[in-house]
């Protein structure tokens, strides 16, 4: 079986999901997206740990690591380079917002081989625009990769030009938070800075890894409040996610950063 | 066929939905919930009009009224008292937030007869608590009944006692917005007041009808900014939605309103 895309629903290959799933009805669930290289998921343990953390944040019983592992084993003969998506929903439920007494969470594992053809096309130096949508501030859901992603959909729909690789998102208080599908880092006065994500945004696994690895290298790493001016004034601007890794921002609207400063070392650190 | 619950997916009875549906992956869709009485949907035209409005707000092509009508005709021999839910998603799509070039929206119609047994049990005079969750403010999504409903799920999960019928929701700026599953009205100094919904909340069809009908009766009706104190100080507090109609709040936390003031007339107005 040489698949381009395959989905396991609770461990069974399926193209369908019960229509009463609360993931569909309310976005009542969480997910992770990660890279498969040489047939192996990258940073698997960290991804599963963050998924379990996010489940706990919305009161969802996380599937056992052994279940994800069994799913992965089932797909492993088909895995080449690609993207893996893990989803946990609160499962099926009757009408109404109230979660069932004993919900039976549903897990999905989706593998896309086709995405692998797209990733190498993303240049190391990317062009970024500023989105007009402003993220809502909701501490209860901040940092979680949950299924309520209409803001990202609307922000991503703001541009279609393939010359633009990513959009920068600010919150309602005009603080810079992240890219539409990535986390933000800036290099400024010998410090690696990334926006605090206690009111909105998604705390990515690659973001956490980069902070930890840079810190272990003796770099000063800090979560801060960033204005758009801080970003424009930065010596270097970078975006990360678990699919593309780290990318240097060469252009942000009319601003141009001609040369990398620290991004190559940081990318190497992530890949080591 | 004497059904308790039935779902049509794009006009075909089905218990399943394609797993790549963007409604599931991102909550990329909208819905309405309405009452069926004597086999007929209540305020059908208004519900479909609001659904189309909400579709437009997120750049979604609304299904034609004739398609919903055909779905309804298909179910009509089974319809007794119950609840009908209409859902429109952006349909199937490849990986990624970017909506497909030409998305094929998917429509769901779900009928639940069982809910009819629950509704009469909701007393006319209800007991309400104040939720600790505070709604995020997002003007781009305010008023829309979209599928990103994790805030409602978390707020509804704050209580399980059947003695509590509804929870009151405030936003991050401590303005009172709505119930978890209903809209709020207060009667104060001979005016019918309801929270402005330009930053968060769902603008229900029953809310719009009540505003219009009360206004036509010569009542002063206004959308305003309400504090919790305004609600406690009100002569009467009421909650509305398209399933339960209008309910008078008899208790809000420790506050008790022993007698109806205008709620009976307003409920009669809605039912006329």
Task: Look at A96 and B181 and tell me if their CB atoms are within 8 Å.
Answer: yes
What are the DSSP calls for B161-206, one per residue?
-TT--EEEEEETTS-EEEESSSEEEEEETTEEEEE--SSSSB--HH
Write the CB contacts of B12 (distance below 8 Å, at least 6 apart in sequence): none
Of A28, A94, A149, the CB nearest to B26: A149
Task: Look at A115 and B95 and tell me if their CB atoms are within 8 Å.
Answer: yes
User: Minimal Cα–Cα distance from B242 to chain A, Å?
Assistant: 13
CATH number, domain A5-118, options 3.30.470.10, 3.40.350.10, 3.20.20.60, 3.30.1330.10: 3.30.470.10
Phi-psi region of B245 (alpha: psi -120 to 50; beta: other; left: phi over 0): left
Task: Look at B150 and A150 and tell me if their CB atoms are within 8 Å.
Answer: no
The answer to whether the CB of B186 falls within 8 A of the CB of B252 is no
Given a cut of 70, is residue B35 above it in pLDDT? yes
Q: Which residues of B touch A149 (CB under 8 A)?
A: 25-28, 97, 148
ipTM of the complex: 0.95
Round to whole Å and give the CA distance between B104 and B23. 12
pLDDT band at B94 (very low <50, low <70, confident <90, very high): confident
Of B31, B58, B135, the CB nearest to A150: B58
CATH 3.30.470.10 region(s) of chain B? Answer: 5-117
Phi-psi region of B56 (alpha: psi -120 to 50; beta: other; left: phi over 0): alpha
Q: Greater confidence, A38 or B119?
A: A38
Q: Which residues of A touch B201 (CB under 8 A)?
A: none
Q: Which residues of A touch B243 (CB under 8 A)?
A: none
Given a cut of 70, is residue B15 above it in pLDDT? yes
Residue B117: predicted pLDDT: 56
Q: How many CB atoms lie within 10 A of CB B115?
A: 22
Write the CB contacts of A19 (distance below 8 Å, at least 6 apart in sequence): B7, B9, B14, B15, B16, B17, B108, B110
Of A19, A33, A140, the CB nearest to B7: A19
Residue A119: predicted pLDDT: 58
Task: Look at B150 and A58 and tell me if their CB atoms are within 8 Å.
Answer: yes
User: Minimal Cα–Cα distance from B217 to chain A, Å?
Assistant: 33
Residue-level pLDDT, tens digit, chain A, 272 residues: 456 889 999 999 999 999 999 999 999 999 999 999 888 999 999 999 999 999 999 999 999 999 999 999 999 888 888 999 999 999 999 889 999 989 999 999 999 986 655 555 567 789 999 999 999 999 999 999 999 999 999 999 999 999 999 999 999 999 999 999 999 999 999 999 999 999 999 999 999 999 999 999 999 999 999 999 999 999 999 999 999 899 999 999 999 999 999 999 999 999 88
Of A25, A58, A115, the CB nearest to B154: A58
Residue of chain B minimizing CA distance to A108: B19
Given a cut of 80, is residue B221 above it in pLDDT? yes
Q: How many CB atoms lie within 10 A of CB B85?
A: 18
Q: Which residues of B touch A59 (CB under 8 A)?
A: 154, 157
Residue B1: predicted pLDDT: 45
Interface test with chain A among B21, B25, B162, by most A beta carbons within 10 Å: B25
Fold of B122-271: D-amino Acid Aminotransferase; Chain A, domain 2 (3.20.10)
Of A24, A31, A148, the CB nearest to B21: A24
Residue A55: predicted pLDDT: 98
Domain made up of B5-117: CATH architecture: 2-Layer Sandwich (3.30)
Q: Which residues of A touch B181 (CB under 8 A)?
A: 96-97
User: Minimal Cα–Cα distance from B112 to chain A, Å?
Assistant: 8
Count of A-B CB contacts under 8 Å: 184
The answer to whether the CB of B214 falls within 8 A of the CB of B266 is yes
Residue A3: predicted pLDDT: 64
CATH 3.30.470.10 region(s) of chain A? Answer: 5-118
Strand partners, A89: A29, A106
Of A16, A114, A147, the CB nearest to B27: A147
Place of tokens 């859901």: A141
pLDDT band at B77 (very low <50, low <70, confident <90, very high): confident
Place of tokens 């252009």: A251
Given a cut of 80, is residue B2 above it in pLDDT? no
Residue B78: predicted pLDDT: 81
CATH 3.20.10.10 region(s) of chain B? Answer: 122-271
φ/ψ (deg, to 5) at A13 = -60, 125
């Amino acid at each position: 079986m040489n698949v381009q895309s395959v989905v396991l629903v609770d461990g069974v290959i399926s193209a369908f999901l019960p229509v009463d799933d609360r993931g569909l009805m309310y976005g009542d669930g969480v997910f992770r997206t990660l890279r498969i290289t040489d047939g192996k998921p990258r940073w698997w343990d960290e991804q599963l740990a963050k998924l379990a953390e996010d489940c706990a944040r919305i009161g969802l019983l996380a599937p056992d690591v052994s279940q994800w592992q069994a799913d992965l084993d089932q797909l492993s003969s088909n895995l080449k380079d690609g993207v893996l998506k893990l989803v946990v929903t609160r499962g099926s439920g009757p009408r109404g917002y109230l979660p069932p007494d004993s919900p039976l969470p549903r897990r999905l594992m989706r593998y896309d081989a086709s995405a692998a053809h797209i990733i190498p096309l993303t240049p190391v130096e990317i062009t970024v625009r500023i989105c007009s949508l402003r993220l809502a501030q909701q501490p209860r859901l901040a940092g979680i990769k949950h299924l309520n992603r209409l803001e990202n959909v609307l922000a991503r729909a703001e541009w279609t030009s393939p010359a633009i690789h990513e959009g920068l998102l600010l919150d309602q208080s005009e603080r810079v938070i992240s890219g539409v599908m990535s986390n933000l880092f800036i290099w400024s006065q010998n410090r690696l800075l990334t926006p605090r994500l206690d009111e909105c945004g998604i705390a990515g696994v690659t973001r956490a890894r980069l902070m930890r690895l840079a810190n272990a290298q003796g770099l000063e790493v800090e979560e801060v409040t960033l204005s758009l001016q801080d970003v424009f004034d930065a010596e270097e601007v970078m975006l990360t996610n678990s699919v593309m890794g780290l990318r240097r921002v060469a252009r942000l609207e009319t601003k141009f950063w001609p040369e990398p400063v620290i991004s190559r070392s940081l990318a190497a650190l992530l890949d080591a």
